[in-house]
Each structure stands twice: as structure tokens, then as C-alpha cells.
């Protein structure tokens, strides 16, 4: 197949400081935070989420929710990954003991993925939001799967478990911001998973979000998706199990959404690819891909043949926006590489979805660079003002 020459690797921007820093301590305070009156001065996560959820490049079948400012708390550090300021104990405000969640035994990764999806669905339906807004629990699973620190599952679980409600919500914002900074093309497809994080009154959902998060940690989400080796992260499709478990039977019938079992995908991948991998640059196309189960099987078979999936092209179309968003998450978790196109729309009505989505990729990277440049300039201006204030103050003395 002809290769689309639209995927020159863009230079990755620096990782935001909130992800580079490792926490020194964590609190378990669950009190509702007071909105920060100057939250607009913390634009990184806000701009990133707004850019991804309100991008004009997204195709019509995947409308993006209207962005809203993200409120912060006066006394809260910037999310789960910030350099947290330790607090001195006092008689009035004792520090609770850290909480730990012992994950269940994983066993077979595919069985574990199914148990995870079913447990998340049960927890969500048991909450006050049960049956409504399934985009939120799917977003939680996607965020945990995208957690950028791989190979430290126990530490990551401890940090997440001992976070405050505000830190937990801010942590998910930062995960998707980090994803957008690295892969704005795939983050644009994840817009259905990000919208709730920019909505007004998101703090009201914190209890249900925490319950789903703890269930996912207990059922091994970080063990399934947190290995540094993408081969081990590709043993199961946690997004597929979560989406299909949350869907009602009527919704599945209405959408015609029935994901191909992984064993069937494995067999088809071996039959199609054979025992000799195609030449580097070959493109795999999936016109009705769901969350990408066939791509997972093909990528694993290529690795068994000592070929790197990142050296090939992957073009997937999917009609349902949440499933397409799940495919975008999986493309990163499974290490499909930079030549990945996830389109959302009706393949039968528009056969050029993948080509158009590929052409939009350049614009999405340019948009990201422009936003990050503005953020860098704003930081430089603030530092210059602070320096001028210090100079003026020293002369006045």
C-alpha cells in the first residue's frame, strides 16, 4: 500500500514540571477546595485541555465540549506530580496515616482486563452517577493507562491513593495535558474523554471518581499498563473491556458495537502477516477498528518476529467517539509509534477519513507549538516582573 508521507517526527516539547518532579509527601485531606481566584495564571493544563477538546480540526462526528476554566485551590500544590510541600504536624491538624491499596493477583492479563472492566462498571453504576456519563469512568481508565511514569506501579498507586480530591482531579488533567504535549494528534481524538475535566462543578464528581480510581488500582490497571516494555503493556485491551462493560445491552445493539475477541484477533494477525514481517513503512488499515484490538494483535505478532511496530503505519477508522478515543489511548499504551492515524466517522459514507485526519496532523502539532510558545513567553514575562520587583526593592532599602 502507498505510504502517506505526512509523518515526519516532530520534536517533542519538554515534559511539564509537574510530571518531572517526584512528590515528597501526600495528604489525605478530602475537604472541598476553595476555587482559586487567579486560576488563569496557571495556564498549562487549562490551555492544553481546551486546545484538545475545542480543536477546530476534529471531524464533525466527534464534537468537542465547550471548555471552561479550571479552578485550583489556594493551599493545594499543582496536582499529583508536583513537588509537594511537606506540612509540619500539629495538635489541631494531625496528618492521617498513608493509605495503601493492595492490588489483586493479576494472573492471565486478558482475564484480568475483563475483571477490571466489569469491576469498574459495577463501581460506577453503584455510585450516584451510575448509568450516566460513562465517559467519566472510561476517561479514568484511559488516564491511568497513560500514566507517564512506567515501571513504578506501587509508588504511583500510593501517590494516587493518598491524593486529595483536588489533587486527584488535577492529576487527571495533567495526564491528558502531558499526552497532548507529546501527541496532539491523538489527544484531539481523546476529546470525549477530557471534556468532563473542564466542566463547571467537576468537584461534585470527586467521590465517584475516587471510587472508580481505587477499584481500577485494586484490579491492577497499573500492572497491566505500567510496564516500561510496550510488549508487556499490550497483553490486553483495558479500554475495550471497560467500554463494553459500561455499555447497556440496548446501547450495544443500537451501535452495533461488538469488539472482536482477542484470541480471534491473534489468529487473524498470524494469518494475515505470516512468518515474515512486511517491509518497514508498510501501512495497516482497519476501517471499523473499535478500540484497536486487531492492531494490538498485529503489533504483538510483529514483535514476535523481531520487528518494531513503530516502523509501520497504522490507520484506524471508528464510528463511535468513545471507542475512537479508546483506540487513541491504546495507540500510545501499545507503542504503535508516530505513524498512527485514528479517524472518527462513518467509513461507508466517507472513505477518505484517514487521509483527511492525516493531513490535519501537521496543523495540530503547529497549534500545540504555538500554545506552548505563548506559555513560555508568559512565564518569561512573569519572571522578568518578579526580578524587577526584587531590584526595585533592594534599591529602596
Q: What is the pLDDT of residue 260?
A: 84
The average pLDDT across 336-351 equals 90
Determine the straight-line distance between the first and last CA of the chain, rounded to whole angstroms.
73
The average pLDDT across 266-284 equals 95
57/63 Cα distance (integer angstroms): 10
Q: Is residue 371 part of a domain?
A: yes
Q: What is the pLDDT of residue 374?
A: 84
Q: Is residue 8 part of a domain?
A: no
Q: Is residue 68 part of a domain?
A: yes
Q: Which of 191, 142, 182, 190 is nearest to 368 (CA)?
A: 182
Q: Is residue 208 part of a domain?
A: yes
Q: What is the pLDDT of residue 165?
A: 94
Residues 6+ apart with CB under 8 A from 63: none
Q: What is the pLDDT of residue 56?
A: 40
Which residues form the domain of 300? 17-89+101-396
* Angle in degrees, 0-180, between the axes of helices 109-126 and 206-218, rounded to the nearest 10: 160
Residue labelled with grid coordinates 485531606: 29
- Please give the full DSSP string across 213-258, using - where no structure is assigned: HHHHHHTTHHHHH--SSHHHHTS--HHHHHHHHHS-HHHHHHHT--
- Please give the full DSSP string across 282-340, using - where no structure is assigned: -EEEETT-TTTHHHHHHHHHHHHTT--GGGSEEEEEESSHHHHHHHHHHHHHTT--S-E
- pLDDT tens by residue, 5-17: 433 444 444 444 3
Give the total number of structural domains in the chain. Answer: 1
Answer whether residue 241 shows pLDDT above 60.
yes
Residue labelled with grid coordinates 510530571: 19
Answer whether residue 252 shows pLDDT above 60.
no
pLDDT category, 57, cuts 50, 70, 90? very low
The percent of residues in the chain predicted with pLDDT above 90, rounded, is 53
Average per-residue pLDDT for the chain: 78
Residue labelled with grid coordinates 486527584: 168
Q: Is residue 11 part of a domain?
A: no
Q: Phi/psi of residue 187, each to 5°? A: -65, -35
Answer whether residue 77 shows pLDDT above 50.
no
Q: Is residue 12 part of a domain?
A: no
Most confident range, picked from 51-60, 251-260, 330-339, 374-383:
330-339
Pairing of the two strands 340-344 and 283-286: unpaired
Q: Is the pTM of this model over 0.85?
A: no
The one-character DSSP state at 344 is E
The one-character DSSP state at 35 is B
Q: Is residue 244 part of a domain?
A: yes
Q: Which of 266, 263, 259, 310 is nearest to 289 (CA)?
A: 259
Q: Is residue 183 part of a domain?
A: yes
Q: What is the pLDDT of residue 254?
A: 46
The average pLDDT across 335-341 equals 96
pLDDT category, 259, cuts 50, 70, 90? confident
Q: What is the pLDDT of residue 395?
A: 57
Amino acid at each position: 500500500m502507498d505510504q502517506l508521507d505526512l509523518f515526519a517526527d516532530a520534536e517533542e516539547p519538554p515534559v511539564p514540571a509537574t510530571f518531572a518532579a517526584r512528590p515528597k509527601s501526600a495528604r489525605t485531606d478530602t475537604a472541598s477546595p476553595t476555587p482559586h481566584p487567579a486560576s488563569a495564571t496557571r495556564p498549562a493544563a487549562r490551555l492544553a485541555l481546551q486546545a484538545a477538546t475545542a480543536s477546530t480540526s476534529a471531524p464533525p462526528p466527534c464534537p468537542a465540549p465547550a471548555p471552561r476554566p479550571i479552578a485550583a485551590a489556594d493551599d493545594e500544590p499543582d496536582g499529583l506530580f508536583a513537588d509537594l510541600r511537606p506540612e509540619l504536624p500539629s495538635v489541631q491538624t494531625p496528618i492521617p496515616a498513608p493509605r495503601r491499596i493492595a492490588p489483586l493477583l493479576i494472573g492471565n492479563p486478558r482475564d484480568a482486563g475483563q475483571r477490571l472492566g466489569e469491576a469498574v462498571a459495577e463501581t460506577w453504576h453503584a455510585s450516584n452517577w451510575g448509568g450516566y456519563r460513562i465517559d467519566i469512568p472510561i476517561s479514568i481508565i484511559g488516564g491511568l493507562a497513560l500514566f507517564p511514569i512506567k515501571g513504578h506501579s506501587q509508588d504511583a498507586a500510593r501517590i494516587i491513593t493518598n491524593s486529595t480530591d483536588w489533587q486527584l482531579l488535577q492529576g487527571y488533567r495533567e495526564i491528558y495535558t502531558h499526552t497532548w504535549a507529546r501527541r496532539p494528534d491523538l489527544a484531539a481524538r481523546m476529546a470525549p474523554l477530557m471534556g468532563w475535566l473542564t466542566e463547571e462543578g467537576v468537584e461534585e464528581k470527586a467521590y465517584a471518581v475516587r471510587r472508580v480510581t481505587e477499584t481500577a488500582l485494586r484490579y491492577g490497571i497499573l500492572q497491566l499498563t505500567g510496564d516500561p516494555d510496550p510488549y508487556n503493556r499490550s497483553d490486553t485491551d483495558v479500554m475495550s473491556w471497560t467500554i463494553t462493560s459500561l455499555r447497556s445491552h440496548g446501547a450495544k445493539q443500537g451501535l452495533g458495537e461488538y469488539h472482536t475477541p482477542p484470541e480471534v484477533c491473534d489468529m487473524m494477525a498470524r494469518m494475515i502477516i505470516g512468518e515474515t514481517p512486511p517491509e518497514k513503512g508498510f501501512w495497516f488499515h482497519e476501517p471499523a477498528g473499535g478500540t484497536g484490538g486487531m492492531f494490538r494483535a498485529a503489533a504483538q505478532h510483529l514483535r514476535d518476529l523481531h520487528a518494531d511496530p513503530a516502523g509501520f503505519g497504522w490507520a484506524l477508522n471508528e464510528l463511535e467517539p468513545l471507542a475512537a478515543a479508546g483506540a487513541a489511548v491504546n495507540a500510545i499504551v501499545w507503542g504503535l509509534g508516530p505513524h498512527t492515524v485514528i479517524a472518527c466517522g462513518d467509513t461507508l459514507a466517507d472513505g477518505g477519513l484517514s487521509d483527511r485526519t492525516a493531513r490535519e496532523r501537521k496543523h495540530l502539532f503547529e497549534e500545540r507549538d504555538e500554545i506552548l510558545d505563548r506559555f513560555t513567553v508568559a512565564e518569561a514575562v512573569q519572571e522578568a516582573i518578579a526580578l524587577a520587583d526584587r531590584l526595585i526593592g533592594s534599591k529602596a532599602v
